[in-house]
Amino acid sequence: MQQQHFEGNVQDCSFTYYRVREGPNYFVSHYKGSTRGHNDPKECWRVLGVAKFTDNGKKLKEWCLEMDDTYNKPNPVDEFRGGRKDTSFASEAIEEPTEQTRMVT
């Protein structure tokens, strides 16, 4: 497990990106006495609330997106599914739900 720390971390506000060998990479945020784990970089940035519009908040957003773009791997299950067309019954209902709908007058 490798840790990447945000350069603007202080004692009461810190953000860390964890790169792991198994499972998805994730962020850990510690802000206002609450520590949370996030898979989405935008969730990590939204922890700041109104403070996300400050200079340090904007730097955090850039850092979160950079970490996600650099180290986040696509899910291999999604890549496998991308090679074949979904032929399940549910996919037929989702693809074109209004094709056979007619208006009653």
Residue 37, strand partner residues: 28
For residues 102 and 105, what is the distance between their CA atoms, to the nearest angstrom? 10
Q: Quick one: average pLDDT of 58-75?
A: 86
Percent of the chain with pLDDT over 70: 72
Using 50, 70 and 90 to split pLDDT, how confident is the model at 60? Answer: very high
For 17-43, the pLDDT digits (tens) are 999 988 889 999 999 999 999 999 989
Residue 14 is encoded by which pair of tokens?
Answer: 């810190």
